[in-house]
Structures are given as C-alpha cells and as structure tokens.
Amino acid sequence: MGVKTIDVSEITVGMELAEPIKNMHGQMLIPEGTTLAENHIRLLKTWGIKAATVNSEEGTTQVESASNLDFETMAILKKRINWIPLNEHENDIYNLAVQSISKQTKI
C-alpha cells in the first residue's frame, strides 16, 4: 500500500489519512489514520485545505501544485502581501509565489 496526495474535491467518504491535516497555523485538524467521513470533508473545505495525503492501493503519487505545499510557506506569503486570489488566473499567480517562496526556504 502506498500513499497518494489528492485534491480535496477528489476525497470520498471512507478514505484514510496517511498524514495529519493541519491548518495554516500548524494546528492539527484531523489526525493521521482517520477514516474520513462527510463531516471531515466539510471541515477541510471550511478551512480552505486544498489537498490531503491518503492511503492508496495504487502506490505513491503527488499533486504538483501549491496545494501540496506546507502552510508555513503560505503564511510567509500572507505576511508579505495582503491579497487573496479572486479568479483562476490570480490563483495561478498566487501558486507561483508560494512555490517560489517554498524553494527559497528549503535552500
């Protein structure tokens, strides 16, 4: 069994978390090993969580987007700019900024 990072829109009831879900402040929302129910999925959407890592029969894969980046990076960006993306194009710009900051902080 592997793990798979998927977009929150792809999560279904019964999936099991392979990693804990934390909010942008690092507080745990849902612990690792939780079998997801409808209320968990609503919680993820309410907190703006973009992706989750779940146990998978298919092997290990990752989504390549800002949704897979840690919340510390997003917090750094929020401190630097006071802006929330309002459409798909602005979201792409935001994701590029998050990826850039992530690369800088991992050096």
Residue 38 has pLDDT above 90, yes or no: yes
Element (H, E) at 5: strand 2-7
pLDDT in tens, 7-29: 888 899 999 999 898 877 778 89
Between 38 and 91, where is the model more confident? 38
Distance in angstroms (rounded) separating the CA atoms of residues 17 and 38: 14
CATH superfamily name and code, 2-56 = Molybdopterin biosynthesis moea protein, domain 2 (3.90.105.10)
Half-sphere exposure of 62 (CA within 13 A, CB side): 6
pTM of the model: 0.54
Contact between residue 18 and residue 59 where contact means Cβ atoms under 8 Å apart: no
Burial class (CB in 10 A: 0-12, 13-18, 19+), 49: buried
Beta bridge partners of 54: 4, 17
pLDDT in tens, 40-77: 999 998 888 888 889 987 654 444 444 445 666 776 77
Domain boundaries defined on the chain: 2-56, 69-105
Beta bridge partners of 43: none
CA 29 to chain centre: 12
